[in-house]
């Protein structure tokens, strides 16, 4: 059980450091962490409705509506009517939003690459494979 305790503690500590570094990177982008998460989810899942995004982020629809209102004012997203059902309103990420996500992710990767400089290629590969394996059994 000591190994499991060590793994859990390490994952928690790594998560904390990544989140902290992520917030530092986001400060330069002038968006909040929830806005960044929303942009990522919309990009990865396609043009979502408020309800779908609410489920993805585990936040109330009213909270998501306020979030999208602010993002729309900043030209990060736009709302549009669904072609198949005009009653449904979907959210689309605009070029500005996509560029911010791309920039932030590139800066995160650069940070991680810098952190992993002391790892050999073999160690990086093993770490990658084990993290993927852990993710697969957890999802």
Q: Is 17 helix (H, G, I), strand (E, B) or coil?
A: helix
Q: Is 59 helix (H, G, I), strand (E, B) or coil?
A: coil
pTM, full prediction: 0.83
Q: Could you say which residues of the chain have pLDDT below 50?
A: none
- In angstroms, the Cα distances linking 113 to 15, 99, 134 are 16, 21, 21
Give how many domains the chain has, as a whole number: 1
What angle do helix axes 33-45 and 61-73 make, rounded to 10 degrees? 90
DSSP state of 1: -
Helices (H), 50-120: 50-57, 61-73, 95-115
Cα 86 to the center of its chain, rounded Å: 29
Measure the CA–CA gap between 20 and 35, rounded to whole angstroms.
Answer: 16
Residue 49: give its domain's CATH number. Answer: 1.10.10.10
Q: Show the domain range for 123.
A: 2-138
């Amino acid at each position: 059980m000591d190994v499991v305790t060590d793994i859990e503690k390490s994952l928690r500590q790594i998560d904390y450091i990544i989140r902290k570094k992520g917030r530092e990177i986001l400060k330069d982008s002038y968006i909040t962490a929830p806005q960044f998460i929303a942009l990522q989810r919309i990009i990865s899942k396609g043009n979502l409705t408020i309800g779908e995004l609410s489920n993805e982020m585990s936040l109330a629809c009213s909270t998501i509506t306020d979030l999208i209102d602010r993002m729309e004012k900043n030209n990060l997203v736009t709302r549009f009517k669904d072609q198949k059902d005009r009653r449904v309103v979907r959210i689309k990420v605009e070029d500005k939003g996509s560029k911010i996500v791309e920039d932030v992710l590139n800066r995160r990767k650069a940070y991680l690459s810098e952190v992993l400089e002391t790892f050999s290629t073999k160690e990086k590969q093993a770490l990658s494979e084990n993290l993927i394996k852990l993710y697969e059994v957890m999802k």
